[in-house]
Structure 1
Amino acid sequence: MRTSLLALISLASSALGYEVKTPPLDTDWTYKVGTDPWPEYPRPQLQRSRWQSLNGIWQWGEGTSESAYPQGTDVLVPSCIESALSGVMQHAQTSWFAREFEVSKALKRKGDKILINFEAVDYQATVYVNDELAGSHTGGYWRFSFDITDLIKEGKNTLRVDVFDPTDAQGYMIPVGKQTLNPSHIFYTPCSGIWQSVWLESVPAQHITQLDVAADMHGTVDVTVTTNGGSNNTVHITVTDDSGKDVANARGRANKAFSFKVGSPSLWSPDSPTLYNLTVTVGDDKVTSYTGFRTIATGEIDGIKRPLINGEFFFQFGTLDQGFWPDGIHTPPNHEAMVFDIKQLKDLGFNMLRKHIKVENALFYRACDELGLLLIQDMPSMPVNRLPNAEQQKEWERQLDLLIEQHKNYPSIYTWVIYNEGWAQITAYHPEEYLTERLKELDPTRLVDATSGWIDHGYGDWHDNHHYANPQCGTPFYSLASTPYDNKRIAIQGEFGGIGQNVSEEHLWKVQAAINTINQTYEIDETIEAWNYRGHVLLSELRDQVEKWACSAAIWTQTTDVEGEVNGLLTYDRRVLRPDVDQWKSDIQALKDAAKARNGKK
């Protein structure tokens, strides 16, 4: 059935010149993407009514673009050019993207500005409209916008984007996470180019550029509405519950922090992910957004440091989530596919995930907010086994600030991770000391995990142990790679598990170099029955550590297989779920019950 569908899609796509390439492994969504990908509004926390998607078929070529509208290979935007969905499926350090567009009538209003928005381009982007420079941006995971009002004209316009992406080439130290030019085992195919949505937006001359909202368990809402205008502008905010009832109205000044109260709000938590809608007006500009009322803190219960959500301690159990896809690499095929992973975790009883050295599109975080999944968000690391110079470290720190600034409104995020396992972590001094302080200044509402794994000098809220396969969480025993449990901080098993089970070729990433590294998996279990048995044993060990010692949270490796790794709850194509569902739900509930028995309540 899948083969015949592929044939039909290929015929239809050929008429347009664009064709999905055949990936080493596909998913059930690969051939459903079409030529109008990701039609959803890209920024749900700063949403306006008048916008126009520029996703779809563009032109692409290697090198730097020529003037006007160059002709090249048809490419699907957004997608990594290394992906099958792009229609290119090759890496290029320097390449260009181009298309023509007309500004829709709905966006044209006298006195308004036209912005072009990019959700993410990896790595450096230089944007031209009608051969005029609109602007440039550095950083592969961050959104950016340019005012192109004075560059556009009636009728057709040309848009070109020159992209430079060295990934982990020698001589470069940039945030790449798990991307590498030489994929092997735990490092994967890179992502280059326009990999998140591109779109136009109509805004008043004076408009909102940033909306920061933090709502706590007591109903206090702290707000800063940043505009491109003066601070004398009045801000009007309406808070609406899920029934459509207005529960608060407030006023403040633009570009100045202010606060107001909502009486007896329903709180956000994984078990009850209640969200409230916001309508924010400044002058002629009106945006909609949302927030959740919750408070993240640390506290001491029976002499043990604990993470508190709305004043309560409960066990936080999640997966290491790489966020890679066999057909889209960094870009999920569509919204349905992206949410599939989250729902699978929730169905098994997980209440958290660690987004591992990657940043997702805004709709991913919205889905976690809606479905109730706590997030530990990593900063994408620079290449492993190298150290940055002073200039490279400064640039990485600038982008760390962007991670916080662009993601601090999502209720689901409750912890920031600075360094993972010492990757590109300077040891001549301790940058995590001042970086922890910096993150606390930028966002005092969340916890900080300064060093996940090792090279730990005592900073941050968490003491984070990594150990495979069995856990060592808040225990009086530890491996040499880690450090003894520090009882001044919260104990988390930042990674454990990692047990693998090989599958038939049908579900493997069909690249021989990747297949050759399967035997590097921490543990291979010969049958699915053995894999589930081993899972039960390891979760039982973890439960003992919750009952006997100081373990407060843990992260299982991992959500899905990725390329040469076969240690996922799901295979890389998302077609096989390994866990015995009843067994895993029971074992996860036992973790929660063990923590509940130690929450200090009589």
Structure 2
Amino acid sequence: MHSTLFTGILALAPMLGNLALGYEVKTPPLDTKWTYSVGTNPWPEYPRPQLERAQWKSLNGIWKWKPGSYQGESIPASNSFDKDILVPSCIESGLSGVMELNHTYSWYTTEFHVPLGFAQRGHAVKLNFEAVDYQATVYVNDQLVGTHEGGYWHFGFDITKFINTNGTTNTLHVNVFDPTDQPGYMHPVGKQASEPSHIFYTPCSGIWQSVWLESVPDTYIQQLDVVADMSGQVNVTVTSNKGSDPVTIAVFNSEGKEVASAKGVANKPFDFVVKSPKLWSPDSPSLYNLAVTLGQDKVKSYTGFRTLSIGVIDGVKRPLLNGEFIFQFGTLDQGFWPDGIYTPPNREAMVYDLQVLKDYGLNMLRKHIKVENALFYQACDQLGLLLIQDMPSMPLRTPDAAQQADWERQLDILINQHKNYPSIYTWVIYNEGWGQIVDYYPEFNITNRIRELDPTRFIDATTGWHDHGAGDFHDNHHYANPQCGTPFYSIQSTPYDSNRIAIQGEFGGIGHNVSGEHLWKVWGAVQTINQTYEIDQDLDAYNYRGHLLLSELRDQVEKYACSGAVWTQTTDVEGEVNGFLTYDRRIIRPDKEQWRADIQALYDAAAKRGGKAPKQTYAL
């Protein structure tokens, strides 16, 4: 077992020293400007901005941690926890204070007090986890509370009957099992790899998103689903833990003025209208705040008014936002950090990436086989960035029937937990055949299932390889130059299918090496840099090549059927050096004036192809 992430070139990134107890950031193979300012109260923001209550308490901070031994082992003795760990963070990260690999089993523990009034008569106390990779078994005061499986999804438990509420201390233990991509296991892992290599990266194990308490009434809102379209029609479903009690909802504009209200009952959809709403789009990301009341439960939320549809313009199928064809251009966004792996150092750091993309004129990004915390999606809603959301893929193997069924179960969770963010406009099922069954075509049934769960968005059934005709997009991957909606294609793609929307799901990927101070200082990663699709020796060459590739894409927008494109990628990651930004976010490669002009040229070319109302429109 590796004691740290350093393998091969330790001298480039000295360790801070192993402390038996007492949290301290470990020096990662590469840091960011935020690494050493995270502190011991990380992610203090309310974790779920679309279901916000007044009474809550963050449990983020310094916990104790130790390796585990096997599934089902008893809770360890308190004096056996010999390391401190920052929650939330990946065990493998420098921010965790542990920074160790290959811990399939591990234990966390902390103590907490229940705030006065949380457990008053008629109320319950919920313990919430935003994400634990991969399986979490939770104990409160040495009593089993519950188990959850799935590394990307939020979950919670009613712990009222397990807690002390008289001001005395409560003890929380979490046992984590995370096999990542070990042989015999097939579950969503995205780009995590137990043996990282070039396009596969350091894994994330453990509690990597926020942990918190909240007080809820005995009857409370479990989920709030809101669909608000461009006509002002609003459909609401308030899911409660029991009954069909009356519900009220009020809608407020950005100035705080109430513009509509309605009444319904829990667990049944109801409709109302907001007159002449300001529509959500990348150019004008207007959001409306919501206040929802169910008995004693009151929650805050927000929504955006927008409609997605498919239109035929001059014989070409186009994606429409609010009835208009807008060319979508964005980056492949991996969501990895050198100091936090899967967990950004803080909200400021996370939003910085998005602001850079917006500043360069991009209107979209593809969240690549990873799911982020709720604040990420809120930031995209606020900034006006369209989101293609991938389902995290399984390893590069073929699943058996049970593994496929569980992966599809988790795909349902992805949709249900994220279908209220206005920025998300497309769901991706499979990426380049990873974990995809190809002797029959499950993506057709999966597409139908997604339509049932969320009929309001586009579906990209297979981004890249093994496209059998399912979904709304014909999605080509090709490096470095694009092949978007064209009569030419390459061996791993398929001919353009005019029955679907043409999008370039990945292209570009041109690389530019940097000095060692900006590289992921792990020898195995450094050795793979030359596997980058193309290496440009200096930034002049990088920007020249970028201009040529974007010009070629513009030609395809003008001449053929291209409706959107995804450039690889937002940032470098470990052994990859093809990002707009370096992995430490300290260098931005593209020349802003040139790239803004080239990106605007894409939008202008698309406008000339689709500036008029479509002749034919299809609902999704």
Residue aligning to 1:5? none
AA matched with 1:502:
N
CA offset at residue 72 of structure 1? Answer: 2.5
Equivalent pairs counted in the alignment come to 590
Residue aligning to 1:324? 336
Residue aligning to 1:66? 75
Where does 1:154-173 land on structure 2 (aligned, <5 Å)? 154=166, 155-173=168-186
Residue aligning to 2:462? 451
Residue aligning to 1:3? none
Residue aligning to 1:500? 511
Residue aligning to 1:191? 204
CA offset at residue 106 of structure 1? Answer: 4.8
CA offset at residue 111 of structure 1? Answer: 1.9
CA offset at residue 14 of structure 1? Answer: 7.6
1:65·1:95 contact (CA, 8 Å) conserved in 2? Answer: no
Residue aligning to 1:405? 416
| Aligned with residue 57 of structure 2, among 52, 57, 75 | 52
Question: Would you say 1:563 and 2:568 are equivalent positions?
Answer: no
| Aligned with residue 590 of structure 2, among 560, 564, 579 | 579
CA offset at residue 601 of structure 1? Answer: 2.1
Q: Give the distance between the partners of 1:65 and 1:565, measured in 2 at CA.
A: 42
Q: Give the distance between the partners of 2:82 and 2:189, measured in 1 at CA.
A: 27
Residue aligning to 2:426? 415
For 2:160, what is the secondary structure of its paired residue?
Answer: coil
Q: What are the superposed Cα offsets for residues 27-60 of structure 1, whole Å, 9 maximum, x if unpaired?
A: 0000010100000000000000000000000011
Residue aligning to 2:444? 433
For 1:350, what is the secondary structure of its paired residue?
Answer: coil
Q: Give the distance between the partners of 2:74 and 2:129, measured in 1 at CA.
A: 18
The 1:159–1:352 alpha-carbon spacing in structure 2 relative to 1, beyond 3 Å, is same
The 1:440–1:559 alpha-carbon spacing in structure 2 relative to 1, beyond 3 Å, is same
AA matched with 2:337:
W
Residue aligning to 1:511? 522
Q: Give the distance between the partners of 2:589 and 2:19, measured in 1 at CA.
A: 37
Q: Give the distance between the partners of 1:72 and 1:362, measured in 2 at CA.
A: 32
Q: What are the superposed Cα offsets for residues 405-445 of structure 1, whole Å, 9 maximum, x if unpaired?
A: 00000000000000000111001110000000000110000
CA offset at residue 596 of structure 1? Answer: 0.5
Residue aligning to 2:124? 113
Residue aligning to 1:81? 91
Question: Would you say 1:280 and 2:285 are equivalent positions?
Answer: no
CA offset at residue 104 of structure 1? Answer: 1.4
Question: Would you say 1:202 and 2:211 are equivalent positions?
Answer: no
Q: TM-score, normalising length from structure 1?
A: 0.97
Residue aligning to 1:466? 477
CA offset at residue 65 of structure 1? Answer: 5.8
Where does 1:350-389 land on structure 2 (aligned, <5 Å)? 350-384=362-396, 386-389=397-400
Q: Give the distance between the partners of 2:327 and 2:97, measured in 1 at CA.
A: 44
Where does 1:256-275 land on structure 2 (aligned, <5 Å)? 256-275=268-287
Q: Give the distance between the partners of 2:319 and 2:204, measured in 1 at CA.
A: 35
Residue aligning to 2:48? 43
Q: TM-score, normalising length from structure 2?
A: 0.94
2:350·2:376 contact (CA, 8 Å) conserved in 1? Answer: yes
Q: Give the distance between the partners of 1:436 and 1:495, measured in 2 at CA.
A: 21
Where does 1:80-229 land on structure 2 (aligned, <5 Å)? 80-91=90-101, 92-153=103-164, 154=166, 155-229=168-242
Question: Would you say 1:533 and 2:544 are equivalent positions?
Answer: yes
Q: What are the superposed Cα offsets for residues 54-107 of structure 1, whole Å, 9 maximum, x if unpaired?
A: 000001111156257453310000000000000111120000110011111252
2:502·2:561 contact (CA, 8 Å) conserved in 1? Answer: yes
CA offset at residue 297 of structure 1? Answer: 1.1
CA offset at residue 600 of structure 1? Answer: 4.5
Question: Would you say 1:309 and 2:309 are equivalent positions?
Answer: no
Q: What are the superposed Cα offsets for residues 109-142 of structure 1, whole Å, 9 maximum, x if unpaired?
A: 3221000000000000000000111100000000
AA matched with 2:327:
F
1:69·1:160 contact (CA, 8 Å) conserved in 2? Answer: no
Q: What 5-or-longer segments of structure 2 have no aligned partner? A: 1-15, 614-620
For 1:268, what is the secondary structure of its paired residue?
Answer: coil
Q: Give the distance between the partners of 1:531 and 1:105, measured in 2 at CA.
A: 59
2:21·2:82 contact (CA, 8 Å) conserved in 1? Answer: no
Residue aligning to 1:342? 354
Q: What are the superposed Cα offsets for residues 571-595 of structure 1, whole Å, 9 maximum, x if unpaired?
A: 0000000000000000000000000
Residue aligning to 2:617? none
For 1:133, what is the secondary structure of its paired residue?
Answer: strand
Q: Give the distance between the partners of 1:108 and 1:52, measured in 2 at CA.
A: 13
Q: What are the superposed Cα offsets for residues 480-527 of structure 1, whole Å, 9 maximum, x if unpaired?
A: 110000000000000000000000001000000000000000000001
Q: Give the distance between the partners of 2:511 and 2:522, measured in 1 at CA.
A: 18
* Identity level (%): 71
1:69·1:99 contact (CA, 8 Å) conserved in 2? Answer: no
Q: Give the distance between the partners of 2:611 and 2:357, measured in 1 at CA.
A: 28
1:67·1:131 contact (CA, 8 Å) conserved in 2? Answer: no
CA offset at residue 468 of structure 1? Answer: 0.1
